[in-house]
Amino acid sequence: MRQVEKARFDDGFQEQLTELMRWRRDVRRFRADPVDSGTIRSLIEIAALSPSVGNSQPWRFVHVASSAMRETVIASFERCNAEALQSYDQERARLYARLKLEGLREAPVHLAVFCDEQTSDGHGLGRRTMPEMLRYSVVAAVQSFWLAARARGLGVGWVSILDPDEVRHALEVPSAWTLIAYLCVGYPIEAHLDPELQRHGWQDRLPLDSIFEERR
Ligand SMILES: Cc1cc2nc3c(=O)[nH]c(=O)nc-3n(C[C@H](O)[C@H](O)[C@H](O)COP(=O)(O)O)c2cc1C
């Protein structure tokens, strides 16, 4: 109880937190400057403060430093992206083809984030009726990582146009680990308040009225 005062954040902090969220972007254009490995470690420590079902902490982070492994991931992206392009018609396909959907070659750091589906930590609490909560916990950690990185001037890009099994095999991780996020991390070459996909006419942000309802 005595710590309540410490856990209070003033108006200035609240405004800055909102600004951080406004400026968080999915980044695909990185400077070549390296990122200190200590910075990545401390970001992972921060991400590990995230909520998780039953306090299971199922997140597993893998720093992909091997260029051979990175090449396998890039090849997976190129194949999956070509297949995705085929699924669109005419104008959408033309638009899709022009989008830059990853910064895999430019990013100094590749980080794969997995969910350990077989963890006994958390003792099953909260997962009996909704087992997917384990994976959602990992997503919560990714979001924490993303914001903490942005606060340190680092950009993060989430690449999901991949074959998850291919990535799992390439990185030689246990078969019980599911790929949740493949992240490109590095210093961005630009800052924008609008999402890249909005800027290039793919998808606008939705108004509050279309995402929020009340039931009385
Ligand atoms: C689960 C998830 C997967 C994503 N996968 C990709 C991806 O493969 N390629 C991409 O360009 N952006 C990807 N993104 C980023 C979104 O395109 C981006 O978050 C969205 O357009 C809003 O832009 P902002 O993050 O800059 O606000 C992903 C985001 C999430 C949350």
Q: Ligand 1 centroid to 26 CA: how many Å? A: 6
CATH number for the 25-189 domain, one of 3.40.630.30, 3.20.20.140, 3.40.109.10, 3.20.20.220?
Answer: 3.40.109.10
pLDDT tens digits, one per residue of 51-69: 999 999 999 999 999 999 9
Distance CA 174, CA 178 (A): 9
Residue nearest to atom 6 of ligand 1 (CA): 159
How far, rounded to the nearest angstrom, does the alpha carbon of residue 163 sit from its chain's CA centroid? 16
Q: Ligand 1 centroid to 196 CA: how many Å? A: 9
* Beta carbons of 188 and 106 less than 8 angstroms apart: no
Q: Which residues contact 181 (CB under 8 A, 6 or more apart)?
A: 112, 113, 138, 139, 142, 158, 160
Burial 56-71 (b: 16+ CB within 10 A, else e): bbbbbbbebeeeebbe
Other Cβ atoms within 10 Å of 91 Cβ, number: 8
By most ligand atoms within 8 Å of CB, the mutation choice from 20, 26, 197 for ligand 1 is 26
The model scores a pTM over 0.75: yes
CB of 27 shorter than 6 A to ligand 1: no
Domain ranges of the chain: 25-189
CB of 183 shorter than 6 A to ligand 1: no
Other Cβ atoms within 10 Å of 51 Cβ, number: 11
Distance CA 157, CA 28 (A): 6
User: How do the pLDDT tens digits run along the chain, 216 residues long?
Assistant: 578 888 999 999 999 999 999 999 999 999 999 999 999 999 999 999 999 999 999 999 999 999 999 999 999 999 999 999 999 999 999 999 999 999 999 999 999 999 999 999 999 999 999 999 999 999 999 999 999 999 999 999 999 999 999 999 999 999 999 999 999 999 999 999 999 999 999 999 999 999 999 999
Q: Length of the chain, please?
A: 216
Atom of ligand 1 nearest to the CA of 160: 8
Residue with tokens 């199922």: 58
C-alpha distance from residue 193 to each of 51, 65, 86, 161, 187 (Å): 27, 31, 31, 24, 16
The DSSP element (H or E) to which 81 belongs, if any, is helix 67-86
CB of 195 shorter than 6 A to ligand 1: yes
CB of 198 shorter than 6 A to ligand 1: no
